Amino acid sequence: MKGTERAKWKEERLAQMLAKLKGRDFRLTPQRLAILTILAGSEEHPTVDEIYTEVRNKFPTTSIATVYKTIALLKELNEVLELGFPDGSNRYDGNRPYPHPHVICMKCRKILDPEIASVDQLSEEMKNKTGYTISSHRLDFFGLCPECQHNS
């Protein structure tokens, strides 16, 4: 995606979240809007702590419970993807809430969203091999990013 397309997509994602939240028991405070904006716009897969720190820059009285609650509601609405890790350092992707492959650096923990063309084919193959209907997938690749390869 180009810069302008990316900016448009971030706006679109925020609009989609707000549309889904309409009619739910959700009071849109400036703090909550800031949390939604971070999640809709970030391609970095932030942790709860990172989101909390960023929101507090603007709204110092925000509680971490507000961050957790907002994310829980978005999860319920399928508007954020949770990447769970065994050490509990979960990361969140509200920019692309649908299943997609990730590549994860085990050293600096940078996570990217590469566009991999063969994923659809893989789903199809899984369906054909097993007879299951496939509604979702989790596909994580682990390794070292280029920077960490050079600095090790």
The DSSP element (H or E) to which 120 belongs, if any, is: helix 119-130
Which one of 38-46, 67-75, 114-122, 138-146 is the stretch in contact with Zn ion (CB under 5 A)? 138-146
148 binds Zn ion (CB under 5 A): yes
Any residues with CB less than 8 A from the CB of 127 and at least 6 apart, and which? Answer: 133, 134
Q: Please, which residues bridge with residue 132 across strands?
A: none
108 binds Zn ion (CB under 5 A): yes
When the beta carbons of 79 and 93 are compared against Mn ion, the nearer one is 93
Binding marks (x or -) toward Zn ion, 56..95, rule CB under 5 A?
----------------------------------------
Choose which of 44, 50, 54, 113 interacts with Mn ion (CB under 5 A): 113
